[in-house]
């Protein structure tokens, strides 16, 4: 393996029905590849019903990998029972996502974007004004890939999040994803996990950073991710960046708490 290359190590695991159970990616230097592949395989096999686990490795010249800033994190505390729209409305307005586009996004996250009610395998892209679906694969959506924290950023990010009481692996990985999504030209991202038990979610924009809400997902919602884009002409470049460009998220990670 040439030394001036970096390597993406990816894992995905599925259950007997072929349903996706777990996935993760690291971008590392060549000597770390065997150990990281073993760690990801162990993570895959840790899921009880896994019967299929795949590890993929491929490389890219280091000079072709982008360093991108980590979005700052705000842990937003809404009063008990408050409507998250108190926060969402002004944020959407300031990045020109219309109220009807926001409604379309929230409805999809609640009821699912697919006819069978299952979550899409990636995020859906909606027009920021009309709320119309813009990505081409209706059952699949689009998946951000080829991103990780930089080697120096990884431990620092984990430590900062843990110290702020946000040490869950989902927050750690979602922050890197949201940083890449914002860098790819998405105006605003909304995320509710598709794990039924997990209620925190976030809104992210380049201007406002990663706004985490502890109780964002309503009970019974399907979950998923929505990316709002500035019209159909913006979509091909967003998808190219999300899928093809390799990015390492750089520190510092900043976390503040805000009462809303
Ligand atoms: N949900 C459902 N199905 C998924 C999936 C997901 N999140 N990710 C992969 N699959 C399944 C799909 O069937 C997919 O086929 P499709 O492209 O038609 O949907 C198939 O696996 C192959 O996916 P692909 O992305 O080509 O596989 P890969 O092995 O190259 O990468 C992942 C798999 C999970 C690593 C990648 O999709 C991903 O999500 N990367 C981001 C990981 C991350 O969160 N990193 C955080 C770093 S801090
Ligand atoms: P999770 O936070 O892992 O529960 O994922 C929530 C939703 O995000 C999933 O249901 C998918 O719709 C979407 N998703 C998962 N992985 C990705 C990805 N790599 N890029 C974009 N969207 C994703």
**What integer is the mean pLDDT of 186-202?**
94
Single out the residue of 34, 41, 35 nearest to residue 13, CA to CA: 41
With contact defined as beta carbons under 8 Å apart, do 214 and 199 qualify? yes
- Average pLDDT over every residue of 48-69: 96
Q: Is the CB of 184 under 6 A from ligand 2?
A: no
Question: Does the pLDDT at position 2 exceed 90?
Answer: no
Distance in Å, CA 178 to ligand 1 centroid: 16
Q: Is residue 251 scored above 90 in pLDDT?
A: no
Per-residue pLDDT averaged across 153-182, rounded? 96
User: DSSP per residue over 177-215, as a string?
Assistant: HHHHHHHTT-SEEEEE-SSTT---EEEEETTTEEEEETT
- pLDDT level of residue 79 (50, 70, 90 thresholds): confident
Q: How far is the CA of 10 from the centre of ligand 1 (A)?
A: 8
- Using 50, 70 and 90 to split pLDDT, how confident is the model at 247? very high
Residue 187 has pLDDT above 80, yes or no: yes
Cβ(82)–Cβ(255) below 8 Å: no
E-strand ranges in the chain read 5-14, 20-28, 52-61, 66-69, 73-77, 124-127, 147-149, 188-192, 201-205, 209-213, 224-229, 247-250, 255-259
Ligand 1 pocket check for 29: Cβ under 6 Å: no
Q: Is the CB of 164 under 6 A from ligand 1?
A: no
Are the C-beta atoms of 158 and 148 separated by less than 8 Å?
no
**Mean pLDDT within 187-205:** 94
pLDDT over 90 at 81, yes or no: no
Exposure string over 75-102, b if 16+ CB within 10 A, otherwise e = bbebeeeeebeebbeebbeebebbeebb
Q: Which ligand is nearest to the CA of 179?
A: 1
Residue 144 CB less than 6 A away from ligand 2:
yes
- Measured in Å, residue 190 CA sits from the centre of ligand 2 at 11
Looking at residue 196, what is its pLDDT?
84
Residue 3, pLDDT > 90, answer: no
Beta carbon of 10 within 6 Å of any ligand 1 atom? yes
Which ligand 1 atom is nearest residue 176's CA? 48
Judged against a pLDDT cut of 80, whether residue 1 lies above it is answered with no
Residue 260's pLDDT is what?
80
CA of 29 to the centre of ligand 2 (A): 26
Distance CA 5, CA 63 (A): 8
What pLDDT score was predicted for residue 86?
87
Q: Which of 79, 121, 102, 118 is nearest to 196 (CA)?
A: 118
Q: Does the Cβ of 254 fall within 6 Å of ligand 1?
A: no
What was the pLDDT predicted at 47? 86
Average per-residue pLDDT for the chain: 95
Counting residues of the chain whose pLDDT is more than 70, the rounded percentage is 100
């Amino acid at each position: 393996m040439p030394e001036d290359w970096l390597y993406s190590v990816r894992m995905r695991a599925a259950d007997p029905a072929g349903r996706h159970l777990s996935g993760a990616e690291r971008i590392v230097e060549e000597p770390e590849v065997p150990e990281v592949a073993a760690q990801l395989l162990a993570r895959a096999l840790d899921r009880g019903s896994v019967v299929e686990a795949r590890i993929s490795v491929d490389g890219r010249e280091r000079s072709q990998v982008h360093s991108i800033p980590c979005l700052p994190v705000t842990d937003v505390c809404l009063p008990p029972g408050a409507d998250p729209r108190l926060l969402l409305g002004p944020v959407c307005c300031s990045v020109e996502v219309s109220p009807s586009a926001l409604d379309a996004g929230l409805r999809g996250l609640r009821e699912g974007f697919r006819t069978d009610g299952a979550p899409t395998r990636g995020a859906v892209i909606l027009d920021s004004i009309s709320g119309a679906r813009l990505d081409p694969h209706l059952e699949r959506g689009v998946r951000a890939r080829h991103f990780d924290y930089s080697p120096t950023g990884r431990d620092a990010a984990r430590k900062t999040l843990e110290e702020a009481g946000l040490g869950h692996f989902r927050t750690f990985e979602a922050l890197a994803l949201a940083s890449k999504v914002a860098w790819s030209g998405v105006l605003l991202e909304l995320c509710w996990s598709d794990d039924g038990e997990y209620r925190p979610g976030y809104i992210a924009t380049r201007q406002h950073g990663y706004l985490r809400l502890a109780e964002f997902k309503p009970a019974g919602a399907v979950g998923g991710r929505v990316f709002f884009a500035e019209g159909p002409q913006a979509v091909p470049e967003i998808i190219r960046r999300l899928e093809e460009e390799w990015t390492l998220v750089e520190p510092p990670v900043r976390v503040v708490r805000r009462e809303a």
